[in-house]
Chains A and B, each alone.
Chain A
Amino acid sequence: NAGVIQTPRHKVTGKGQEATLWCEPISGHSAVFWYRQTIVQGLEFLTYFRNQAPIDDSGMPKERFSAQMPNQSHSTLKIQSTQPQDSAVYLCASSPDWGGYEQYFGPGTRLTVL
């Protein structure tokens, strides 16, 4: 079991460019989560999918951020017109199924916006 896979591990973009982050959940896990970690805000929830359907995006910034899960083996987080304040480590997690199950995290993608 390879665990949750995230690519790329590091990404540097210029201000105003687009960034796409990829996540491959653990095989058989039907829930996929995205979180963001910064020094100032700590670890904060962004959005999650269950069986590929968006369930809760209450933590997503309303502008420029979007997430998709086109199939059960990967999810993407896209940030349009990146800003320096978007610099963070973006973490993806997966869990087996409905409420009451443990979340497992990938190694994260460190996004740096210059």
Chain B
Amino acid sequence: GDKVKQSPSALSLQEGTNSALRCNFSIAATTVQWFLQNPRGSLMNLFYLVPGTKENGRLKSAFDSKESYSTLHIRDAQLEDSGTYFCAAEARQGGRALIFGTGTTVSVSP
């Protein structure tokens, strides 16, 4: 089954708008990472979270281990925010292996 469920699978945004992506975990996640995969396929690190919240520019992310979810908020979307966003979790019983969600493809238009 899906240990990391990511939603939505696709998102179309207009420049300047806000949106949120979400990951729900059916595993006991200990840490969460968020990545943006660019058109060339490279995974760029956005956030590394133990339970809590972090903010970086127009991006903000939260991880609640008790409720088993994580969110990524995009504020004032820009064209360069387009790409596929992945969340990935380390599980308490899984050692260091990252378990990835299926990704959210974000398309920002003018």
Contact = CB atoms under 8 A, between A and B. Distances in A.
Chain A partners chain B: yes
Interface of A: 31, 33, 35, 42-45, 48, 50, 55-56, 58-59, 89, 91, 93, 95, 99-100, 102-105, 107-108, 110
B1 interface: no
B96 A44 contact: no
Nearest to B49: A102
B96 A99 contact: yes
A50 B103 CA distance: 28
A38 to B, nearest CB: 12
Interface string B30-71: 110101000011110100101000000000000000000000
Contacts, number: 54
A49 B42 CA distance: 22
28 contacts: A31-B96, A33-B96, A33-B97, A35-B98, A42-B100, A42-B103, A43-B100, A44-B100, A45-B98, A48-B95, A56-B95, A56-B96, A56-B97, A58-B97, A59-B97, A89-B41, A99-B96, A100-B30, A100-B31, A100-B50, A102-B45, A102-B48, A103-B98, A104-B45, A105-B42, A105-B43, A107-B40, A108-B41
Interface string B85-107: 01010100001111110110000
A108 B90 CA distance: 21
What's the dominant secondary structure at chain B's contact region? strand
B45 A48 contact: no
Contacts of A56: 95-97
Interface of B: 30-31, 33, 35, 40-43, 45, 48, 50, 86, 88, 90, 95-100, 102-103
Contacts of A102: 33, 45, 48
Contacts of B88: 43
Contact of A103 (B33, B41, B42): B33
Contacts of A107: 40-42
A54 to B, nearest CB: 12
A42 B102 contact: yes
B52 to A, nearest CB: 13
